[in-house]
A and B are shown apart, each in its own frame.
Chain A
Amino acid sequence: MKTDALIDLLVADLEPSRLRFRASLRLELACGGAAAGLILLFVLHLRPDLGAQLASPRLWLKLATMLTLTAASLGLVWRLATPGAEAKPWLWALGLAPFILGLGVLAEALATPASSWPARLVGHNAFSCVTLIPLLSAAPLACLLHVLRRGAPADPGLAGAAAGLLASGVGATLYALHCTDDSPFFVAAWYSVTIAIVTLVGYVAGRRRLRW
């Protein structure tokens, strides 16, 4: 087939403006996040002491860490899937979340006696943390992998991993409103492990599904 003939074919296939990829990404993320939010509200329920804890710096640190992760990985996912967009600064921005959490761990170490550290680290809900964050991340991850099929990532595995990170950021933010373990020690140990698992799932799925 001559290239001119291919051009004829492509012109015949032109459909007027569908939704741009960036808009689709936001829309699908909102859908996945809404589904996870409904699971939180009606299946898992908010923590009963949420109102009382609104003054707790530990709760806010937890939320700030997860929201920072979510924002940075959202910027990253879009850029990784868009040809010619510069993703590097957003890889750096990802470091912000562990940095905030690190400050929290330091503050916790200074503010509490060493004898209480093991109990704070182990918490009460380590098992539910490791299982429920993936549950809350599932819908956002499925939506993201679906919309990324329309993207054009140079590195499908990396884009999938970033989608996993974003999905687990959403899942962990929601889970933070359910889980009563607020110590930065707990968050650094269990949330991180769980987020790493979801990210790995995203990486594997991306490598298999996002080639174009």
Chain B
Amino acid sequence: MSLARAEAEWGELMRAAIAGDGAAYRRLLASLTPALRAVVRRNCGRIGLDPGEAEDVVQETLLAIHLKRDTWEPDRPIAPWIMTIARNKLIDARRRRGKATVVPIEDFADLLSAKGANEDHDRLDVERMIAQLGERDQNLVRALAIEGRSVRETAATLDMSEGAVRVALHRAIKRLASAFRGEKS
């Protein structure tokens, strides 16, 4: 797949997602993840981060793409936007290790040679971050993410309204993002 085509496809999916199309959003994130994983792994090695940390950076990047998606303007190219977020998250990860930070990220074109990197490194760190959430939020996150239930089913299971589930979910996602930054919130 050429860079231009990948970018056009991601931009198209993001535009659909902004309009509320969940299926398009899932395809976008699923298609971005292996590409991000490959470029993050390669750069982790080059800047002296443990390769096991790569998956954390990938997840943190996905969280940031989600929470900051309003900063992408549909009339602008999406690849530099994504890469800059990934780069910032690599810099953050490296800073947390107490190292000085200049991270030259390799050309975005590298992303496209990266289709192989699909296996998932499951890190205990992330479980620990979920453990920082309150009990209700933990149940909610597990029901939605790990048991794969819908918002409606989760609402019924936890005896909450769908609106309350959505609000709690959004807050839990923000807490996950700040847990990655090492903040309490």
Binding site for B on A (CB under 8 A): 1-22, 24, 81-85, 150-152, 154, 211-212
Contact = CB atoms under 8 A, between A and B. Distances in A.
Contact of B126 (A1, A18, A19, A21): A1
Contact of A17 (B19, B25, B82, B122): B19
Given A24-B70, A83-B68, A152-B71, A13 B145 contact: no
Contacts of B26: 7, 11
Contact of B85 (A4, A21, A152): A152
B52 interface: no
29 contacts: A1-B127, A5-B146, A7-B29, A8-B145, A9-B141, A9-B144, A9-B173, A10-B25, A12-B150, A12-B151, A12-B169, A14-B17, A14-B22, A19-B70, A20-B71, A20-B73, A21-B70, A81-B71, A82-B81, A83-B72, A83-B80, A83-B84, A84-B79, A150-B70, A150-B71, A154-B84, A154-B88, A211-B181, A212-B67
Contacts of A9: 141, 144-145, 169, 173
Interface of B: 17-20, 22, 25-26, 29-30, 33, 37, 55, 58-59, 62-64, 66-68, 70-74, 76-77, 79-85, 88, 120, 122, 126-127, 130, 141, 144-146, 148, 150-151, 166, 169-170, 173, 177, 181, 183
A4 B148 CA distance: 10
Nearest to A151: B71
Given A2-B120, A3-B58, A83 B81 contact: yes
Nearest to A6: B59
Q: Is the interface of A mostly helix, strand, loop or mixed?
A: loop
Contacts of B59: 1, 3, 6
A18 B71 CA distance: 11
Nearest to A16: B20
A17 B20 contact: yes
Given A3-B33, A6-B63, 12 more contacts: A1-B59, A1-B127, A1-B146, A3-B55, A3-B62, A10-B29, A13-B170, A21-B68, A84-B83, A152-B68, A152-B71, A154-B84
B45 to A, nearest CB: 19
Query: Chain B at the A interface: mostly helix, strand, loop or mixed?
Result: helix
A15 B73 CA distance: 17
Contacts of B141: 1, 9
A26 B166 CA distance: 28
B164 to A, nearest CB: 14
A18 B26 CA distance: 19
Contacts of B37: 3
Given A10-B63, A212-B68, A15 B20 contact: yes
A11 B145 CA distance: 10
A17 B88 CA distance: 25
B71 A2 contact: no
B71 A83 contact: yes
B58 A5 contact: no
B33 A7 contact: yes
Q: What are the 10 A-B residue pairs with the smallest beta carbon separation, nearest first?
A: A16-B20, A84-B80, A83-B84, A5-B145, A84-B81, A152-B68, A84-B84, A21-B70, A21-B71, A9-B145
Contact of B173 (A3, A10, A17, A154): A10
Given A83-B81, A83-B88, A84-B83, A7 B127 contact: no
Contacts of B127: 1
Nearest to B78: A84
